[in-house]
Amino acid sequence: MIETWRWYGPDLDQITLDEVAQTGATGIVNALHEIPYGEVWSQQAIAARRKLIEQAGFTWSVVESLPIHERIKRGDGDLAHLFANYRQSMANLADEGVSVICYNFMPVLDWTRTDLAAPLARGSGSCLRFEAYKMAAFEVHMLGRADAASDYLPAVLDQARSWFEASTESDRDALLHAIMSGLPGAFDRYDIAGLRHQLSLYDGIDRAQIRANFKRFLDEVIPTAEDLGLRLCVHPDDPPRDILGLPRVVSNVEDIAWILAAVDSRANGLTLCSGSLGANPANDVPAIARQFADRIHFAHLRNVRKDADGSFEEAAHLEGDTDMAAVIAALLDEENRRKEIERQDHQIPFRPDHGHEIAGDIGKGTFPGYPLVGRLRGLAELRGVIEGLMHMQKQGQAHG
């Protein structure tokens, strides 16, 4: 497996490439976050970023993300120029040697959390957390979304009301900020009125329509990906459930199977995010990894700890509800299968996802979920699991 590290670029990330080099990762996962959604990524801009990354001793392994404009997700109006721009960006990336593009199809928001610095059980560190009652308080009492109450348990709604009645303006501002923080590379940040407007643009758009719009996107771009030798891989919804009344369509086994069958091509693949999928109690992440192994082009490895009310938080990489060793074993088995059939792309790039803010990370102001030391701890733990499993495989082969 190829060790990679998500880096937000020289103008956004406080972590330097020299510091990333000290983690041992060999690949950088990057995007041109400074370019507004829907515009072409020029070959010149891509080449400049590639040169910067390669001069620091890395390969630019994966683009995360080449974002999809909201109008495409809504199926809004004449989209020809947006599809053309997306295809041109794909071509420019391919010309500069990038071969894997991670993207998502989540309406309006990317990953969603209510707390960016929830305290850890031990020590003074913190983690990202999704608190069901705070999300209910936001939707019901701050946003005033119609029918929001029907999405939550009565006990959660009671907690939401109590929290809201006791909250200060600063508390409510912090909650809005946390919910908006899942868009680290986006220019748009919404206040309550702005978010209401964005949600109103999805009025009347149901799950079937979102799927139809997704299918149209795949039909428009996958043939180009095939021609260019690119592999696109959709990122699961985070959390894997409807949010703010918006249909989400990449949340479970049935969703993934539908997407991969919608355009049956190796170029139409999956980013296996063990944390996103793991936040749904119905998702068996190791089983998902095995079922869709041949279409997994990229992996985010992290863990979550879930509560019965729908809340969850980021756990240490080997300490959450998901059997991380089983997930990695599935990926290694797939790599071996690809190697046996002599696929050049048999290695799967992965990165340690959302880490705890610990030790020297505290107070550094890095992107929520993307500290240096916390992710380094995660990478070291994952590296140990990978090496141990590979050793066991070799021992088995030697005695086979």
Same-domain check for residues 255 and 143: no
Of 64-73, 269-278, 322-331, 391-400, the least confident: 391-400
pLDDT bracket for residue 189 (50, 70, 90): confident
- The domain containing residue 313 runs over which residues? 2-110+205-398
Among 139, 166, 199, the domain boundary falls at: 199
| Contact (CB, 8 A) for 390 and 332 | yes
In order of 151, 188, 217, 219, 220, the CA distances from 263 in angstroms are 32, 31, 10, 7, 10
Q: How much is the pLDDT for 312?
A: 97
The structure tokens listed for 55 are: 């001069």
Quick one: 89 and 165 in the same domain?
Answer: no
Mean pLDDT (whole number) for 119-128:
92
Alpha-carbon distance 287 to 272, whole Å? 12
Q: Looking at the structure, tell me whether residues 189 and 336 fall in a common domain.
A: no
Q: Give the residue with greater pLDDT, 61 vs 168.
A: 168
| Portion of the chain with pLDDT greater than 70, in percent | 98
Task: Note the pLDDT of residue 193.
Answer: 95
Of 235, 324, 311, which is closest to residue 276 (Cα–Cα)?
235
pTM for this entry? 0.95
Query: Which residues are known catalytic residues?
Result: 235, 273, 300, 353-354, 370
CA 136, CA 344: separation in Å to the nearest integer?
48
Model confidence at 186: pLDDT above 60 = no
Residue 108 has pLDDT above 80, yes or no: yes
What is the average per-residue pLDDT within 54-74? 95
| Number of structural domains the chain divides into | 2
Whole-number pLDDT of residue 85: 98
- Among residues 145, 175, 199, which one ends one of the domains? 199
- 221 & 127 share domain: no
pLDDT at 124: 87
- What is the arithmetic mean of pLDDT over 118-122? 93
The answer on 157 and 8 residing in a single domain is: no
Token couple for 211: 């799927």
Q: Are residues 189 and 231 in the same domain?
A: no
> Confidence band (pLDDT; 50, 70, 90) for 182?
confident
* Residue 254, pLDDT score: 98
**pLDDT at residue 187 above 70?**
no
Question: How many angstroms separate the Cα of 152 from the Cα of each of 112, 133, 243, 258?
Answer: 16, 8, 11, 27
Quick one: pLDDT band at residue 393, thresholds 50, 70, 90? confident
The CATH number covering residue 27 comes to 3.20.20.150
**Same domain flag for 73 and 147:** no
pLDDT band at 344 (very low <50, low <70, confident <90, very high): confident
User: Using 50, 70 and 90 to split pLDDT, how confident is the model at 128?
Assistant: very high
- CA gyration radius, the chain: 21
For the chain, what is the mean pLDDT? 95
Q: What is the pLDDT of residues 291-339, one digit of tens each?
A: 999 999 999 999 999 999 999 999 999 999 999 999 999 999 999 999 9
The residue with tokens 């043939």 is: 223
Looking at the structure, do residues 94 and 144 belong to the same domain, yes or no?
no
Residue 184's pLDDT is 56
Q: Average pLDDT, stretch 366-372?
A: 95
pLDDT for 396 equals 76
Residues 66 and 79 in one domain: yes
Residue 215 and residue 313 in one domain: yes
**Do 146 and 70 lie in a common domain?**
no
Same-domain status, 134 and 89: no
- The arithmetic mean of pLDDT across residues 85-89, rounded, is 98
pLDDT tens, residue by residue, 243-292: 999 999 999 999 999 999 999 999 999 999 999 999 999 999 999 999 99
Q: Which of 178, 199, 220 is the last residue of a domain?
A: 199
* DSSP code at position 167: -
pLDDT band at 73 (very low <50, low <70, confident <90, very high): very high
Mean pLDDT of 174-185: 84
Residue 353 has pLDDT above 90, yes or no: yes
